[in-house]
Chain A
């Protein structure tokens, strides 16, 4: 059952081949069996079984939706009412969310069954899931390697079949990079497409939630539930949501693909490059025309991002002060001591590093030189994307410079870790949607192909990914021991 797609499971639930309670019980069993991956922070077994019973009743009544009765999981960045919501941090270790994120409400309304909350880098700051207070997550393809981050728990859980599909969030690559390293499909939607309400903020002008699944068709089904205007999110975009499955089977004849030469130069592992070339050749066979393009501002994405994201993080994380919720230090001497020690004891090292960086970049005398300069570069980067996407339909490239690296290999060198986000970060600055699609293996480890589209062209990206998945089976392969 655990290898079936959402559409197959929906069919099985309707034909009576199995019930949602049986399906949910099977997944809960797998989660226990593979707990050494550490992909879940909280497993909500009782709530899941209750939701499965309700889903079975709804299926029997005949008013079910596609996700009704399907076992899903939420990245622990999404607030879940009555359920611990940690964001991977000690400072929220005792935080029982008093309300649901809009995304969580949408899954509940669709009748999806939540299995639990997934591990992640602390406050979504990290590229390896090693900054989580709850410990490192292991990549099911090789448990000595990282699953990527920050949605590392999600990627590992979906790849290991410990959930049918799950949510992720992406501020600088946090859906696409772990999806690539764990061999699954991940979609970062256009900024503003999915509500951020109740999704704990890291860098508000970049954060975006999205689906992480095994196939593009599953991603289309999930996004259908997640997307849409939300008046509770002040930056949500009020545009109609198309039917994401309607165009999946459209032909790719005449599709114009641009390959930025800046994406294929020095720094890209040659085995990864070989896998990507083969994937692009598949697209040629499907009728696409491939041209080389140039996006000269891409090289400035990392410096601009590491000003903007920490600046917004330092402002957002000021709410964790030990006063209204979350961790409070013991015996504070005075109010300043309460703030300083609660934050000092509650946050981990990477989060502190970014708060310090952001505080500095926003401080008097440096604001123009860093923050405003970075925002100007951000505009030039987005103009580069607009220009490129007026010449080609989509841009393709790598997601990561290499396959999954070893646990402990890069955590001691933060700058080197930041540089590994080179292919994903510019997309968040521009706000365009992008996907990571399984595109083969290099030395036995998964490789992801990145597909970047124009604003609100999620339907086109899903179509392009789905067509590739009709002629390849990379997305169906399971790590050994998890088949």
Chain B
């Protein structure tokens, strides 16, 4: 299985990940190599096997619907790139 330069650019867009034009070919080569490694998985018959997500097959714990967190807005916004009036600022989204 091999990926083309266009495949890599499409995946990078899905991930909103900037990659340099000069690196595209090497990512295509490395990802194709990884996919080759993964084709070995088809050697094993896994019909009827339940996918495993947690080593103890633990399910998500539930808790009472009560407030447990304190308001840390100022603390968290102090490390943000750009804030104003308690809001996170980003470039204009709506014209």
The CA of A95 and the CA of B50, in the complex, are separated in Å by 40
A235 to B41, Cβ gap below 8 A?
no
B33 to A415, Cβ gap below 8 A?
yes
CB contact between A95 and one of B61, B79, B88 (< 8 Å): that residue: B79
Interface size on A, residues (CB 8 A): 71
A155 to chain B, nearest CB (A): 25
B50 to chain A, nearest CB (A): 6
Known: A307-B38, A432-B55. 9 other contacts (CB 8 A): A231-B61, A235-B54, A300-B44, A306-B38, A321-B16, A324-B76, A360-B3, A373-B46, A431-B56
Asked whether A269 is an interface residue with its Cβ less than 8 Å from the other chain, the reply is: no
DSSP majority for the B interface? loop
A418 to chain B, nearest CB (A): 7
Known: A333-B91, A378-B52. A98 touches B38 (CB 8 A): no
Please report B residues at the A interface, Cβ cutoff 8 Å.
3, 7-8, 11-12, 14-20, 23, 27, 30-31, 33-34, 37-44, 46, 49-56, 58, 60-61, 63, 72, 75-76, 78-82, 88, 90-93
Please report A residues at the B interface, Cβ cutoff 8 Å.
94-96, 98-99, 190-192, 205, 231, 234-235, 237, 297, 299-300, 302-304, 306-307, 314, 318, 321-326, 328, 332-341, 343-345, 347, 349, 352-353, 355-357, 359-360, 363, 370, 372-380, 382, 414-415, 418, 430-432, 455
DSSP majority for the A interface? helix
Known: A373-B46, A415-B33. A359 touches B11 (CB 8 A): yes
B52 to A340, Cβ gap below 8 A?
no
B14 to A340, Cβ gap below 8 A?
no
The CA of A347 and the CA of B81, in the complex, are separated in Å by 17
B11 to A360, Cβ gap below 8 A?
yes
Which chain A residue shows the least CB distance to B8? A356
Chain B contacts for A192, CB-based, 8 A = 55-56, 58
> Can you report 20 residue pairs joining A to B where beta carbons are below 8 Å apart?
A98-B72, A231-B61, A235-B58, A237-B56, A300-B40, A303-B38, A307-B41, A323-B88, A332-B90, A344-B18, A352-B17, A353-B27, A353-B31, A356-B12, A356-B15, A376-B46, A377-B41, A377-B46, A380-B46, A414-B33
